[in-house]
Amino acid sequence: MNKAYVFAVTVFTAGSGALAFDVVDQLNNNQNDGWGWSYLNPYFEAAQTFKPTANKISGASVYLGKYWGNSDVTIGIYTTNPYLDGGANPVPGASGTTYGGIAPGWVDVFWSPVSVTPGNTYWLAPRGPGGSGVINYTFNDAYTSGGLNWYGNDYGPSGYDLVFRTWAPVPTPGSAAVLGLGGLVASRRRRA
């Protein structure tokens, strides 16, 4: 009598081809340290410069103090000041949109991971319908690797920063081993 045992494991993930989760790469979380505000607008009124430590970025967030619109908030990453060049230099694929009517609180957007250069300066720019919300920012230079740009002017040297965070993908431990099992088919015959 022959018996065959077959074992197969296949792991599918959307987009990246590997198991991953997102972690915060850059952060200014000082929501209560002397905050000011700027309105969300369709143009680039406010942007935050930052320098990633990871080589990929998969999302971004801003903290909204108030929101009185009934529409979406878009956050994008740019290689140059988007107010000065009209957003002409986005990081391809590094933009997302979500409903903004949850304030006060974090507005998070995610996208498939895209490459960035660690240590280079990038601009995080939130946008929405004219005057639809309030983006919080701090006065105390809470984030030391960049600063607030307001109407194209650099307020970073004066200690201003958006309350923001950026996200980077991190492979889960053992995901390579699990994926390696995806093509493994083992069979065993047992003879009686």
The reply to whether 30 and 99 lie within a common domain is: yes
pLDDT for position 5: 26
Shared domain for 74 and 165, answered yes or no, is yes
Residues 34 and 110 in one domain: yes
Q: Give me the phi and psi of 5, to 5 degrees please.
A: -115, 125
One domain for residues 81 and 152: yes
How far apart are alpha carbons 153 and 140 in whole angstroms? 18
Residue 69: predicted pLDDT = 62
- Output helix, strand, coil percentages for the chain, rounded to the nearest 5: 10, 50, 40
- Classify strands 148-150 and 105-115 as parallel, antiparallel or unpaired: unpaired
Residues 35 and 102 grouped into a single domain: yes
Q: 67 and 12 share a domain?
A: no
177, 107: one domain: no
Whether 142 and 100 map to the same domain: the answer is yes
179 and 160 in a common domain? no
Number of domains in the chain: 2
Q: Which domain holds residue 164?
A: 20-171
Q: Are residues 118 and 36 in the same domain?
A: yes
Dig out the tokens for 50 from the structure.
Answer: 């930052």
CATH code of residue 31 = 2.60.120
Tokens 């952060």 locate to: 27
Q: Which residues of the chain, if any, have pLDDT below 70?
A: 1-20, 32-39, 66-70, 101-102, 131-133, 171-192
- Residue 52: closest CA among 115, 119, 111, 7: 119
For residues 101 and 136, membership in a common domain is answered with yes
Same-domain pairing of 42 and 133? yes
Quick check: helix, strand or coil at residue 39? strand
- Global model pTM greater than 0.85: no
Residue 89, pLDDT score: 95
Give tens-digit pLDDT for 79-108.
999 999 989 999 999 999 888 766 778 889
